[in-house]
Structure 1
Amino acid sequence: MKFLLLIGTTLLMTMPAFGQTTLKGRVTDAKGRALPGANVFIKGTYDGANTDSTGSFRFRTSRNDTATLVVSFIGYESFTKKLALSANQPDVAVRLQEAASELNTVVITAGAFEASDERKMTMLKPMDIVTTAGAQADITATMNLLPGAQRVGEQEGMFVRGGSNLESKVVIDGMIVQNPYFSSLPDVQSRGRFQPFMFKGTSFSTGGYSAQYGQALSSVLLLNTNDKNTNNGLSIGLNLISANVGIDHETKNSTISGSLYYGNLKPLFALIRQNIDWVRDPEFAGSSLTYRLRPTKNGLLKVYGMYSASRLAMNFRDPSVETGPAGPGKTAIDQTNRNAFLTSTYTDSWDEGRWLLNTGLSYSRNHDRMTFNGLDFGRFDSRTQGRLVLTRLLARNNSLLFGAEVHHVTLKNGVMGTTYQLSDTYAATFVESELYLSRKLAGRIGVRGEYSSLLKAFNLAPRLSFAYKTGTFSQISLAAGQFYQTPDYRYLYLNQGLAYERADHLILNYQLIRNQRTFRIETFYKNYAALVREFTGQPFDTNPYRFPWGRTDNTGNGYARGFDLFWRDQKTVKGLDYWVTYSYVDTRRLFSQYSMATTPAFVSNHNASLVTKRYFNKLRTNMGLTYTFTSGRPYYNPNRQNERPDNYFSDRTPAVHNLSYSASYITAVKGNFLVLYATVDNILNTRNVFTYRYTPDNKTRYAVGPQSYRSFFIGGVMMLSKKAKVDLNQL
Structure 2
Amino acid sequence: MKILLSTFFILWSTIALSQTIIEGIVFDHKGTTIPGVNIYLRGTFEGTSSEIDGSFNLVTDIEGEVIVVFQALGFKTFESPQTLKAGNIVIRPVLKETINEMTAVTISAGALEASDEKKSIVLKPVDIVTVPSAMGDVVGAFQTLPGTAAVGNDGRLFVRGGDASETAIFIDGMKVGNAFGTTAANVPTRTRFNPNLFKGSFFSTGGYSAEYGHALSSALSLNTVDMPARNQGDISILSVGAGYNQTLVGKKNSLTASANYFDLSPYQSLVRQNFDWERAPYGWDAEVSGRQKWGNSGMLKAYFHTSANGMKLWQKTSQSQGRGSLLGIDNNYHFGQLSFKQLAGESWSLYGGMSFSSNTDNFSIAGLNVRNQNQVLHGKMVAVKDFSDKFSLKTGVEHFVFSYSENLITEDLERSFVDHQPTVFAEADYYFSNKLILRSGLRTGYSALGEESWLDPRFSLAYKFQNQGQLSLAAGRYSQSAVEQLRIFNTELQNTVADHLILNYLLSTNGRTIRAEAFYKDYKNLLTFEGMPYQYENVAQQGAGFARGMDVFYRDQKSFKNTDFWLTYSYVDSKRVFAQFNTMVQPWFAPRHNGSVVVKHWIQALKSQLGLSWVINDGYTFTDPNFPGEMNAKTRSFQDLSIGWSYLPKPNLIIHLACNNVYGRENVFGYQFSPQANEAGRFESQPVGLQAPRFFLLGVFLTLSKDKNANNLNNL
Q: Deviations over 1:209-256 (max 9, x none)?
A: 111111111111111111110342111111111111111111111111
Equivalent residue of 1:490, what SS? helix
2-structure distance, mates of 1:591, 1:523: 24
2-structure distance, mates of 1:728, 1:491: 42
1-structure distance, mates of 2:101, 2:441: 25
Asked if the contact 1:383/1:410 (under 8 Å) is kept, the reply is yes
C-alpha change, 1:106 and 1:423, in structure 2 (3 Å) is: same
Asked if the contact 2:99/2:431 (under 8 Å) is kept, the reply is no
1:256-267 map, 5 Å = 256-267=255-266
**Match in the other structure for 1:351:** 345
C-alpha change, 1:315 and 1:447, in structure 2 (3 Å) is: same
1-structure distance, mates of 2:176, 2:232: 29
**Match in the other structure for 2:74:** 76
Pairing 1:565–2:561 present: no
Q: Which amino acid aligns with 1:154?
A: N
Give the one of 420, 440, 446 matched to 1:425: 420
Asked if the contact 2:702/2:711 (under 8 Å) is kept, the reply is no
Asked if the contact 1:658/1:686 (under 8 Å) is kept, the reply is yes
Asked if the contact 2:544/2:576 (under 8 Å) is kept, the reply is yes
CA shift, 1:677, in A, is 0.5
Q: Deviations over 1:518-560 (max 9, x none)?
A: 2221111111111122245xxxx6xxxx235211222211111
Equivalent residue of 1:294, what SS? strand
**Match in the other structure for 2:699:** 715
C-alpha change, 1:70 and 1:408, in structure 2 (3 Å) is: farther
2-structure distance, mates of 1:594, 1:612: 40
TM-score, scaled relative to structure 1: 0.88
Q: Deviations over 1:540-595 (max 9, x none)?
A: x6xxxx23521122221111111111111111111111111111111110111112
C-alpha change, 1:618 and 1:398, in structure 2 (3 Å) is: farther
Q: Which amino acid aligns with 1:623?
A: L
CA shift, 1:117, in A, is 2.5
1-structure distance, mates of 2:41, 2:354: 47
Q: Deviations over 1:611-642 (max 9, x none)?
A: 111011121100011111111211122222xx
Pairing 1:168–2:172 present: no
Give the one of 702, 709, 712 matched to 2:686: 702
Q: Which amino acid aligns with 1:76?
A: G
Pairing 1:361–2:360 present: no
Asked if the contact 2:62/2:84 (under 8 Å) is kept, the reply is no
Q: Which amino acid aligns with 2:137?
A: D
**Match in the other structure for 2:4:** none
CA shift, 1:444, in A, is 1.0
Q: Specify every segment of 5 or more residues in structure 1 that has no aligned partner in the other structure, as ranges.
A: 1-17
**Match in the other structure for 1:673:** 652
Q: Which amino acid aligns with 1:436?
A: Y
**Match in the other structure for 2:594:** 607
1:467-616 map, 5 Å = 467-535=462-530, 546-547=533-534, 549-616=536-603
Q: Which amino acid aligns with 1:682?
A: N
**Match in the other structure for 1:649:** 631
CA shift, 1:370, in A, is 2.2
Equivalent residue of 2:268, what SS? helix
For this pair of structures, how many residues does the alignment match? 686
**Match in the other structure for 1:663:** 645
Give the one of 333, 337, 340 matched to 2:331: 337
CA shift, 1:52, in A, is 5.2
CA shift, 1:206, in A, is 0.8
Asked if the contact 2:318/2:686 (under 8 Å) is kept, the reply is no
CA shift, 1:328, in A, is 5.0
Q: Deviations over 1:485-527 (max 9, x none)?
A: 1111222212122211111111111222232122221111111
**Match in the other structure for 1:277:** 276
1:179-578 map, 5 Å = 179-319=178-318, 328=322, 330-351=324-345, 354-415=347-408, 417=411, 418-535=413-530, 546-547=533-534, 549-578=536-565
Q: Deviations over 1:352-391 (max 9, x none)?
A: 6x11111111111111222123322221111111101111
CA shift, 1:36, in A, is 2.6
C-alpha change, 1:233 and 1:86, in structure 2 (3 Å) is: same
Asked if the contact 2:115/2:199 (under 8 Å) is kept, the reply is yes
1-structure distance, mates of 2:169, 2:145: 16
Asked if the contact 1:127/1:730 (under 8 Å) is kept, the reply is no
2-structure distance, mates of 1:441, 1:683: 47
Q: Which amino acid aligns with 1:666?
A: L
Q: Specify every segment of 5 or more residues in structure 2 that has no aligned partner in the other structure, as ranges.
A: 1-17, 678-682
Pairing 1:95–2:95 present: yes
Pairing 1:625–2:604 present: no
CA shift, 1:109, in A, is 0.8
TM-score, scaled relative to structure 2: 0.90
Asked if the contact 2:39/2:47 (under 8 Å) is kept, the reply is yes
Pairing 1:682–2:661 present: yes
**Match in the other structure for 2:147:** 148
C-alpha change, 1:370 and 1:94, in structure 2 (3 Å) is: same
CA shift, 1:411, in A, is 0.9
Asked if the contact 2:360/2:372 (under 8 Å) is kept, the reply is yes
CA shift, 1:92, in A, is 6.8
2-structure distance, mates of 1:508, 1:627: 27
Equivalent residue of 1:159, what SS? coil
1-structure distance, mates of 2:61, 2:165: 68
1-structure distance, mates of 2:423, 2:401: 12
2-structure distance, mates of 1:730, 1:287: 19
Asked if the contact 1:232/1:249 (under 8 Å) is kept, the reply is yes
C-alpha change, 1:69 and 1:117, in structure 2 (3 Å) is: farther
